[in-house]
Amino acid sequence: MKRTQKENLIKGFFCLPASLSIFFLLGIVIVLFKEGLPIFKVTSLKEFLFGKFWYPTYEPPEFGILPLILGSFLVTFGALVISVPLGVAGAIYISEVASPKIKESIKPVIELLAGIPSVVYGFFGMVIVAPQVAKIFDLAVGLNAFTASLILGIMAIPTITSISEDAISAVPKKFKEASYALGANKWETILRVILPAAGGGITTAVILGMARVYGETMTVLMVAGGAAVIPRSFFEPVRTMTATIAAEMGEAVAGSTHFYALFAIAIVLFVITLSFNILADILSQRFRKRLG
Amino acid sequence: MNSRKVKEFVGFAILRLATFLILSALFIILYFIIIRGIKVINWQFLTHKPCEGMTSGGIFPAILGTFYLTLCAICFALPLGVAAAIYLVEYARQGRLVRIVRIGINNLAGVPSIVFGLFGLAVFVKYFGFGVSILSGGLTLGILILPVIIRASEEAILAVPNSLREASLALGATKWQTIYRIVLPNAIPGILTGSILGIGRAAGETAPILFTAVTFYSAKLPTSIFSEVQALPYHIYALMTEGTHPETQIPIAYGTALVLLFLVLGIDLLAIVIRRRARRRKW
């Protein structure tokens, strides 16, 4: 065999694994739709998305996932309220204020925070945080949307901090120098020059943090309380889409309407996370172009 | 002191406070789990099976199960991920195809872990008929960590300076010889970091193995890749939600959480150290 032939063969061989990730993504889409769409034989899309009652095993069953969608959004919102200010402030501190030595020791710690498995966060929330929340707010049990938001907020911080930090570090040095030359101090430069310039990147960070929280399963399953009703306050137990799938798939018989309904929830979940990710992708590309 | 200086002082104080809060979150979590977990950990806890309906005994089957699942995942994802990275960096022309592949990788990384679990259930457990097994769970975890490994390997391969490639090509080596003899050996530390992070991620995940691999209790240790297993993350969840004796199960859960944390964070720390060493290297 000639050398060039062999080279081409090798190239073709490597093309296969590269295309696998797109293949898996398509595979996930196909599987979700194949197993999820049959639910719409027994319920309409409108009833499914906006129905207020999730009683999948009653006779007759009801498959309204509005309480679950609202549950997911409530804890995601709560988590962002905690993680965005802390995460962005941490990123500014690390990239603009901290000395190089401190910076080098904080960054791995934040990476470790990202490395803690979600089940450990859930466990910590159950045994340590929930009882405290119950005591402070005088509740019977501490497993509710508030506790879940608190834990999810901590979980989203590493994502938000590390991506924001990249964005802030990407702001060209000459921006800062120009600001100092005009007589601004460091704080004014951060607020008026660096943050606006890094805004696109920070938005990307927030969206990716949001996607992380929104798709999180074990923590909410363990900490959020698990009631599939439309939440009225942060101190009520809620159930998210992810937690519903995790809690009920074990009991759902393959091929039953319950089984299809759970896959249909996964379609909703998938479509929403996909849009988060695509949005983040577009924003980060625009951000990079702007900073040139 | 004028008001601009006061503002700056207050601003910096807020930033410091926020960073302090983030760091203390980590230390509080570690503190409670280490202090309460260390009490139950001893040689027996690590090497014995659970007994008396999960209220006493050890967690050896869960440790072994997590080891098997992670091994299976990395055996699947490492060769594929590195090969994909080689193609993307060395062979592919930067055009539409590569862009689509990159979008695929990015979005695969963003898919919620429970959705991977459903995919594994439908494809590996049911369609291929592997059942609830190490193989099904390992493959599911493998797909989950594939993006992590591809990205890290890509970065490592990109970091190899072009002058090395050019020197090799100038000596008459073919493209493949250059990749195999020059690029890969130099990219190894980066690829290693990526795979180690992938291992850490796979070892800690619960949702993807929930319906594909795990069982709360199995009387005997797994005998083949088609056996169902116990796993550390699931063990914590099951102890907290399925038991009837919380007073004896919570301490075991603390111990299990400490073992899992030690494993996962130890793995991550190793990756961080290797990366630092690799970065220090000057070309």
Sign of torsion over alpha carbons B39, B42, B47, B49: negative
Using alpha carbons, select from A145, A114, A138 the residue that is nearest to residue A236.
A145
Provide, rounded to the nearest whole percent, the portion of chain A with pLDDT above 70.
Answer: 99
Task: Tell me the average pLDDT of chain B.
Answer: 89
CB B104 within 8 A of CB B197: no
A-B CB pairs within 8 A amount to: 257
Per-residue pLDDT, averaged over A241-245, amounts to 94
If you write DSSP's letter for every residue of A168-219 in order, what string do you get?
HHTS-HHHHHHHHHTT--HHHHIIIIIHHHHHHHHHHHHHHHHHHHHT--HH
Q: Could you give the 3-state DSSP secondary structure of residue A225?
A: strand
pLDDT at A244: 94
Q: Measured between alpha carbons, how far is A92 from A90 in angstroms, rounded to an integer?
A: 5
Using alpha carbons, select from A21, A118, A30, A35 the residue that is nearest to residue A79.
A118
Query: Is A2 among the domain residues?
Result: no
Using alpha carbons, select from B83, B215, B89 the residue that is nearest to residue B146.
B83
pLDDT at B46: 87
The minimum CA-CA distance between A248 and chain B, rounded to whole Å, is 10
Q: Chain B, 220-279: which have a CB under 8 Å from a chain A CB?
A: 233-234, 236-237, 240-241, 250, 253-254, 257, 260-261, 264-265, 267-269, 272
The yes-or-no verdict on residue B99 having pLDDT over 90 is no
CB A200 within 8 A of CB A171: no
pLDDT at B190: 86
| Per-residue pLDDT tens over the stretch B15-62 | 999 999 999 999 999 999 999 999 988 888 888 888 766 677 788 999
The minimum CA-CA distance between B63 and chain A, rounded to whole Å, is 15
pLDDT at A90: 96
* Contact status of B86 with chain A (Cβ, < 8 Å): yes
| Burial of B242 from C-beta contacts in 10 A (0-12 / 13-18 / 19+) | exposed
| Per-residue pLDDT tens over the stretch A37-61 | 999 998 889 989 998 899 888 888 8
Return the H-helix or E-strand segment holding A62. strand A62-63
* Contact status of A177 with chain B (Cβ, < 8 Å): no
Query: Is A49 among the domain residues?
Result: no
Using alpha carbons, select from B177, B197, B221, B179 the residue that is nearest to residue B65.
B221
If you write DSSP's letter for every residue of B148-201 in order, what string do you get?
HHHHHHHHHHHTS-HHHHHHHHHTT--HHHHIIIIIHHHHHHHHHHHHHHHHHH
Q: Provide the ipTM.
A: 0.91
Q: Where in chain B are the domains? A: 60-234
pLDDT at B1: 61
Topology (CATH level 3) of domain B60-234: MetI-like fold (1.10.3720)
Query: Is A12 among the domain residues?
Result: no
Looking at beta carbons, which residues of chain A come within 8 Å of B23?
106, 109
Test A14 with B150 for CB contact under 8 angstroms: no
Per-residue pLDDT, averaged over B96-107, amounts to 83
| Per-residue pLDDT tens over the stretch A99-108 | 999 988 898 8
pTM: 0.92
The yes-or-no verdict on residue A189 having pLDDT over 70 is yes
Q: Could you give the 3-state DSSP secondary structure of residue B57?
A: strand
Q: What share of chain B is helix, strand, coil (3-state, %, to 5)?
A: 75, 0, 20
Per-residue pLDDT, averaged over B94-104, amounts to 81
Number of domains in chain A: 1
| Burial of B113 from C-beta contacts in 10 A (0-12 / 13-18 / 19+) | buried
Test B108 with A25 for CB contact under 8 angstroms: yes
Q: Measured between alpha carbons, how far is A96 from A165 in angstroms, rounded to an integer?
A: 9
pLDDT at B68: 94
pLDDT at B77: 94
Looking at beta carbons, which residues of chain B come within 8 Å of A211?
110
The yes-or-no verdict on residue B283 having pLDDT over 60 is no
The yes-or-no verdict on residue A190 having pLDDT over 60 is yes
The yes-or-no verdict on residue B110 having pLDDT over 90 is no
The minimum CA-CA distance between A133 and chain B, rounded to whole Å, is 16
Query: Is A100 among the domain residues?
Result: yes
The yes-or-no verdict on residue A221 having pLDDT over 90 is yes
Of the spans A261-275, B39-53, B95-109, which averages the highest pLDDT? A261-275
Provide, rounded to the nearest whole percent, the portion of chain A with pLDDT above 90.
Answer: 64
pLDDT at A6: 85
The residue type found at B135 is L
Q: What is the band of A217 on the pLDDT scale with cuts at 50, 70, 90? A: very high
Per-residue pLDDT, averaged over A126-153, amounts to 93
Range of the domain at A83: 72-291
Per-residue pLDDT, averaged over A168-174, amounts to 91
Looking at beta carbons, which residues of chain B come within 8 Å of A262?
118
Q: Measured between alpha carbons, how far is B121 from B125 in angstroms, rounded to an integer?
A: 5
Minimal-distance CA residue of chain A relative to B237 = A119
| Per-residue pLDDT tens over the stretch B159-199 | 899 999 999 999 999 889 999 899 999 998 889 888 888 99
Provide, rounded to the nearest whole percent, the portion of chain B with pLDDT above 70.
Answer: 97
* Cα-to-chain-centroid distance, residue B230: 18
CB B281 within 8 A of CB B164: no
| Burial of B241 from C-beta contacts in 10 A (0-12 / 13-18 / 19+) | middle
pLDDT at A121: 96
Looking at beta carbons, which residues of chain A come within 8 Å of B62?
none
Test A117 with B240 for CB contact under 8 angstroms: no
Task: Tell me the average pLDDT of chain A.
Answer: 91
Which of residues B282 and A132 earns the better pLDDT score? A132
CATH number at residue A159: 1.10.3720.10
The yes-or-no verdict on residue A12 having pLDDT over 90 is no
The yes-or-no verdict on residue A247 having pLDDT over 80 is yes
pLDDT at B149: 93
Per-residue pLDDT, averaged over B127-146, amounts to 94
Q: Could you give the 3-state DSSP secondary structure of residue B214?
A: strand
Per-residue pLDDT, averaged over B152-160, amounts to 90
Looking at beta carbons, which residues of chain B come within 8 Å of A266?
114-115, 118
pLDDT at B54: 67
- Buried b / exposed e over B131-160, threshold 16 CB at 10 Å, is ebbbbbbbbbbbbbbbbbbbbbbbbbbeeb
pLDDT at B215: 83
pLDDT at A116: 93
